[in-house]
Amino acid sequence: MSKSAARPLVSVYTDKSEVIKDTTIPLPAIFKAPIRPDVVNDVHQLMRRNARQAYAVSAEAGHQTSAESWGTGRAVARIPRVRGGGTHRSGQGAFGNMCRGGRMFAPTKPWRRWHRRINVNLKRYAVVSAVAASGVPALVQARGHIIDGIAELPLVVSDKVQEYNKTKQAVLFLRRNKLWGDVLKVYRSKRFRAGRGKMRNRRRIQRRGPLIVYSKDDGLRRAFRNIPGVDTMSVHKLNLLKLAPGGHLGRLIVWTEGAFKHLNALFGTWSEPSTVKKAYNLPHPIMSNTDLTRLLKSQEIKSVLNAPKKRVFHRVRRLNPLKNARQKTKLNPYSEVTRRRALLAKEKRKYETQIAKAKKKKVELKSNHPAIVYQKNVANRLKLLAASKKARQARAAEKKKAAAGKKATKKTAAKKK
Amino acid sequence: MMQRKNDANFLFVPSVKIEKNGLQRNIRKPFSKEPNNLMNVSTFRYSGLVHPHAIGITPSVDKKGIIFSYKKPKKLYKPAESIGRITFKSGQKRTLKKVKNVIQSKKYRRDLQQAALRRVSAIYRSQKTKPAKKKGGAKKAE
């Protein structure tokens, strides 16, 4: 979206959605203008206020009584009370905002500042942004329009459309250019407004469909006006409220060829000012390159960054070393030894007491009694240990002998020499 | 792209209410209704609108396989031609391999690979027919 980018060529489509050969229009500079959702939203809000009708409470409301306070000493609150007698009303509180039938707090006045003036340049900035946004498929889709089958964005259509005078033609045109999906969405979105607006002549609401921008109305307005959701607009009178409904960018716009071609003259290109608007040129973007992905991958930015932290640190559940043996061993490796020794000692003690008891009671334990088995295993283990020790010692002694023998032969060999 | 108040993204869903096992759950994750979004989540990486390259995986119409859609960056401004679709009808294992191959060989958004494969598996799982319930064990003749 930079102004230095080459201007692509946009094809013009017939009303049957076929490309018209040899007619391509270079994309007007306005589509490369900065897209400023904040400006558009602000200006949209301000512009919306300009269509308001005043409302106010009646000027005398709450004051059409000659109430006067009863003062103190009467065991009632001091607000003015209605004079006289003979009705419920007499003696009731009046005038205050807290009183029933009293005037409201800060009665609304018709001279409230309903309308807002907006700087001309700001208005134009918003319009420019809105038009630029309408050329970005992502924004148009995000706004909710159905653009799946549309041939090109921005969609430029031959000037024949301006000569339509039958709604039938208009519908056929929309169908052929794959804009009907958006209109169908409008049909499906028809519903009653939520809230009091229903009883204030704002009963029904629906979505916005495509917007047709024309340069010369030879019947187009009347052909399209009965199709729900479809708006028409002259390119000479671009309206932000229709270009960015709700203050949201990305309306689906269909341009007629004449309208599209007129955009450069209307808004200018950066190299040439506008020929229609006095001393106006397109707003300059602050960033020349707004491609976020390119920026993030660029050398200038990468070189200043720290290395990425790819190692993921998962939260490790804290285990209690007093209960979890592994965790204890992590902290105190010797605990494993102690624990094992304790277990073995326990085992030994258990079986020894069993044997002692049996002896005392003069009971003979069976050979497969665990205590007897234990005894046997212990004896066996000792035997094996002793045997292996002996074997180890024998091997060591042999090694010594062999080493000594080698040394002796070396010496004798040396001596001989 | 941070979701600002002004931004018109009508495909953005701020949270989803689900009823599971009789419990109402309000899942507050930035979901998205965009077409080419593998996780249906409104984040920079998975967004189908923001990037010129994006992957979408949807069940095929005849409920036997998936459609792998991808964006063609050169046709970005021609919405009718901008999305290419490949249908995979073979079994789950083959399809997974094929999808992975497509992504790897074209080097097309390799950061979406895992998400793509998971979505494929999820779709296949949903397309499996549930086995008929076995009748409660052979009853002894009375």
In tens, the pLDDT along B3-29 reads 455 456 778 888 888 888 888 888 888
Instruction: Enumerate the domain spans of chain B.
Output: 20-127
Supply φ then ψ for residue A164, to 5 degrees: -65, 140
Q: Is the pLDDT of residue B138 over 70?
A: no
C-alpha dist (Å) from residue A257 to A158, A215, B79: 5, 8, 20
- pLDDT (0 to 100) of residue B136: 56
- pLDDT (0 to 100) of residue A6: 57
Q: Are the C-beta atoms of residues A273 and A280 closer than 8 Å to each other? A: yes
- Averaged pLDDT, A326-332: 95
C-alpha dist (Å) from residue A230 to A174, A218, A334: 10, 17, 82
Which residues of chain A does B83 touch, with a Cβ-Cβ cutoff of 8 Å? 148
Q: Which range (A13-27, A61-75, A83-97, A403-417) has the least confidence?
A: A403-417
- Prediction ipTM score: 0.84
- Averaged pLDDT, A54-81: 92
Residue A176 in tokens: 């052929």
Compute the distance between CA of residue A282 and CA of residue A272 in angstroms, rounded to an integer: 9
Task: Tell me whether A271 touches chain B (CB under 8 Å).
Answer: no
Q: Kindly indicate the confidence band of residue B114, based on its pLDDT and cuts at 50, 70 and 90.
A: very high
Contact B49 A142 (CB under 8 A): yes
Sequence-distant (≥ 6) Cβ neighbours of residue A318 within 8 angstroms: none
In the CATH scheme, what is the code of domain B20-127?
Answer: 3.30.390.110
Compute the distance between CA of residue B27 and CA of residue B16 in angstroms, rounded to an integer: 5
Write down the pTM of the prediction.
0.76
Type and span of the H or E element at B13: strand B12-13
Q: Which range (A72-86, A184-198, A215-229) has the least confidence?
A: A72-86
> What is the number of CB-based contacts under 8 A between chain A and chain B?
57
- Averaged pLDDT, A88-103: 89
Burial of A362 (0-12, 13-18, 19+ CB in 10 A): exposed
Sequence-distant (≥ 6) Cβ neighbours of residue A142 within 8 angstroms: A250, B7, B8, B9, B10, B11, B49
Number of CB atoms found within 10 A of residue A177's CB: 22
Compute the distance between CA of residue A331 and CA of residue A226 in angstroms, rounded to an integer: 81
Compute the distance between CA of residue A197 and CA of residue A264 in angstroms, rounded to an integer: 41
Q: Kindly indicate the confidence band of residue A290, based on its pLDDT and cuts at 50, 70 and 90.
A: confident
- pLDDT (0 to 100) of residue A273: 95
Q: Is the pLDDT of residue A371 over 80?
A: yes
Q: Kindly indicate the confidence band of residue A113, based on its pLDDT and cuts at 50, 70 and 90.
A: very high
DSSP class per residue in B52-96:
SS-EEEEE-TTSSSEEEEEE-GGGTT-TTTSEEEEEE-S-HHHHH
Q: What is the 3-state secondary structure (H, E, C) of A118-172?
A: CCHHHHHHHHHHHHHHCCCHHHHHHCCCCCCCCCCCCEEECHHHHHCCCHHHHHH
User: Angle of helix A257-267 relative to helix A120-133, nearest 10 degrees?
Assistant: 140
SS3 A224: helix
Q: Is the pLDDT of residue A395 over 90?
A: yes
- Exposed e or buried b for every residue in A289-312, given b needs 16+ CB within 10 A? eeeeeeeeeeeeeeeeeeeeeeee
Interface of B to A at Cβ within 8 Å reads: 4, 6-11, 34, 49-51, 76-80, 82-83
Which residues of chain B does A249 touch, with a Cβ-Cβ cutoff of 8 Å? 8
Task: Tell me whether A144 touches chain B (CB under 8 Å).
Answer: yes
- pLDDT (0 to 100) of residue B4: 53
Q: Which of A226-230, B43-47, B48-52, B125-129 has the highest mean pLDDT?
A: A226-230
Contact B8 A248 (CB under 8 A): yes
| Chain B residue nearest residue A152, CA to CA | B78
Q: Is the pLDDT of residue A189 over 90?
A: yes
SS3 A232: strand
Contact B79 A149 (CB under 8 A): yes
Count of alpha carbons within 13 Å of A132, Cβ hemisphere only? 23
- pLDDT (0 to 100) of residue A3: 46
Residue A92 in tokens: 């009731």
Share of chain B above pLDDT 70, in %: 88
Task: Tell me whether A240 touches chain B (CB under 8 Å).
Answer: no
Report the mean per-residue pLDDT for chain A.
92
Number of CB atoms found within 10 A of residue A206's CB: 14
